[in-house]
Each structure stands twice: as C-alpha cells, then as structure tokens.
Amino acid sequence: MSAAITKPIFVLNGPNLNLLGQRETGTYGSKTLSDVEAECRTFADGQSVSIDFRQSNHEGVLVDWMQEAHSGSSGIIINAGAYTHTSIALRDAISGIDPPVLELHVSNIHARESFRHTSMIVSACIGQICGLGTNGYPLAIQAMIDYLKTQ
C-alpha cells in the first residue's frame, strides 16, 4: 500500500544554475532553467503531483529551504551545484529532515575534474542521478514518485 503524495516535491537548484543554457552549453546543454522548470511542471502535472521549483546562489538559503521541506514537502530533488562538493551545512540539513532527498546533476560529475567526484551530500540522500543532461530533471521526479509510492 502506498501513501498519497500530498505535499509538493521540492526541486531545488544551487549556485550558477540560473546561467543554464546561456554559457557552457557543451557541458550543460542549451535549455535555460526556465525551460527546465516548464518541462518539470508539465511532467509533474501529468503525474498529478505538484512541484515547487527554486534556485538560489546562496548556501544558507538552500539550508533554509531544506528545513522548510521537513514539514512542507513530500520529497526533495536537489541539484546543489558546486555546494555538492563542499557543503557540510547542506549535508547536515539533509540528514536533519524526514522527507527523502535525491541528488541530481546535469553533467556526469564522476567523469569530470577530480574535485567534482566527491559529494558531501550523497550519503544523506536516497541516491544520485547525473550525466543525463537536463533530461535528468523529469527522470528524477519520476524516481522520487516511485520511491514515495514504496514508502
């Protein structure tokens, strides 16, 4: 028996992801973050779940949103950008909340510079999706829905 997904799935985006589609298109593709948000919204509507899609360049804001998600979200998808590789504060915030968190990246962080191979947050997450381009966003929503339905 699966629980209904009554609260929004948060889709959180960290530093510099507001630049998606404007630079470094060879690495991150040509879709803007607004394009990605629209695709996520269309996909989520089709699955009858709601999403709350946000971006911040500030570590503390991401921590605040994670705390907000504790009571306000059924599950969280986060592309934490470069904070993935550095932020113990974000990892602690993820560890401190009940809803499941899924790590997401556009690029394959394991095939890039060695400093991107380490994720400070992944061990507090249910898993990691990376390297599938911006297609990873709707895939992550589907994966989160599937995960929540098993809970």
Secondary element (H or E) of residue 101: strand 101-104
Residues 16-35 that bind ligand CA2 (CB under 6 A): 16-17, 19-20, 23-24, 28
What angle is formed at CA 49 by the lines to CA 44 and CA 52, rounded to 5 degrees? 75
Binding mask 116-145 for ligand CA2 (x = CB under 6 A): x-----------------------------
Query: 3-state DSSP call for residue 93?
Result: helix
C-beta of 77: minimal distance to ligand CA2 in Å?
12
C-beta of 85: minimal distance to ligand CA2 in Å?
6
C-beta of 42: minimal distance to ligand CA2 in Å?
21
Residue of 36, 109, 122, 140 interacting with ligand CA2 (CB under 6 A)? 109
Radius of gyration for the chain, computed over Cα atoms and rounded to the nearest angstrom: 14
Q: Give the residues lining the site for ligand CA2 (CB under 6 A).
A: 16-17, 19-20, 23-24, 28, 79, 81-82, 84, 105-107, 109, 116
